[in-house]
């Protein structure tokens, strides 16, 4: 369910943040899909309780921090709760970087394979820089995803005490879907800022063509003015 709902809503948010609903940047969208599938699986595996781990412990430096999330019930101070945020951020960043490396390599490899099978096939953008894209995923997951995860768990804890069970479960579904859409949108913004998914060359080409057209129009107007004179 996490893969189906989480990745789908994330990709929808990703595409909604791109021009023409991402149809001109399907190579970038495909990379988000691949990395998202890997990332969601690994994070869910790390967060889900297992029979082999009956108790959750943190490294000694974070021993007094909440083990699960920063808003976990208990006699924890502000510093301890911030420690959990930092620890989860580092953990999420490491997972994001690894998933970004593998996912970007897979998506670039599949696009290269497609080009070999169909020599006429051309992508709209350059191949994604593997290291830079992975680093962008690390920042996104360690900061944006981590912050949204912590806030969402705190909100859900409050709603569980306020709403009836059916309404609470419904609100959880809505909140988590919106959270994933927001995550997809925020990643696109970050990828543009870092240059991992830059379309600057296309924009420059459009600008140059527009400037050339404007120059021709001015020349044509001057020519008409010359004839009138």
State the Cα angle at 88 between 63 and 151, rounded to 5°.
110
pTM of the model: 0.79
The one-digit pLDDT tens for each residue of the chain (229 residues) are 778 888 999 999 999 999 888 888 888 999 999 999 999 888 888 777 664 454 456 777 888 898 888 998 889 999 999 999 999 999 999 999 999 999 999 999 988 888 888 888 777 778 889 999 999 999 999 999 999 999 999 999 999 999 999 999 999 999 999 999 999 999 999 999 999 987 654 444 444 455 555 555 655 565 556 556 5
Nearest to 71 by CA among 168, 171, 146: 146
Q: How far apart are CA 68 and CA 58, in angstroms?
A: 9
Alpha helices (H) along the chain = 8-16, 26-47, 78-117, 130-139, 146-162, 165-194, 200-228
Backbone dihedral angles phi then psi of residue 50, each to the nearest 5 degrees = -130, 160
Residues 164 and 118: beta-carbon distance below 8 Å? no
Q: Which of 58, 49, 55 is nearest to 80 (CA)?
A: 58
Task: Please write the tens of the pLDDT for every residue from 137-158.
Answer: 999 999 999 999 999 999 999 9
Q: What is the mean pLDDT of the chain?
A: 84
């Amino acid at each position: 369910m996490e893969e189906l709902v989480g990745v789908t809503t994330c990709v929808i948010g990703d595409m909604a943040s791109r021009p023409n609903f991402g149809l001109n940047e399907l190579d970038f969208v495909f990379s988000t899909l691949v990395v998202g599938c890997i990332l969601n699986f690994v994070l869910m595996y790390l967060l889900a309780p297992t029979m082999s781990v009956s108790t959750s412990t943190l490294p000694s430096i974070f021993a007094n921090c909440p083990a699960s999330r920063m808003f976990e019930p208990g006699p924890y101070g502000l510093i301890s709760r911030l420690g959990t945020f930092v620890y989860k951020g580092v953990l999420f960043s490491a997972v994001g970087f690894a998933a970004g490396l593998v996912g970007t390599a897979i998506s670039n490899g599949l696009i290269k394979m497609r080009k070999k099978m169909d020599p006429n096939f051309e992508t709209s953008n350059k191949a994604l820089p593997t290291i830079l894209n992975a680093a962008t995923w690390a920042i996104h997951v360690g900061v944006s995803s981590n912050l949204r995860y912590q806030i969402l768990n705190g909100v859900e804890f409050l709603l569980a005490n306020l709403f009836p069970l059916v309404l609470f479960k419904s609100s959880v579904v809505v909140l988590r879907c919106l959270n994933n859409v927001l995550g997809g949108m925020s990643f696109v913004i970050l990828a543009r800022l870092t240059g991992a998914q830059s379309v600057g060359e296309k924009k420059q080409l459009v600008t140059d063509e527009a400037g050339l057209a404007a120059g021709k129009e001015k020349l044509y107007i001057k020519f008409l003015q010359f004839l009138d004179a």
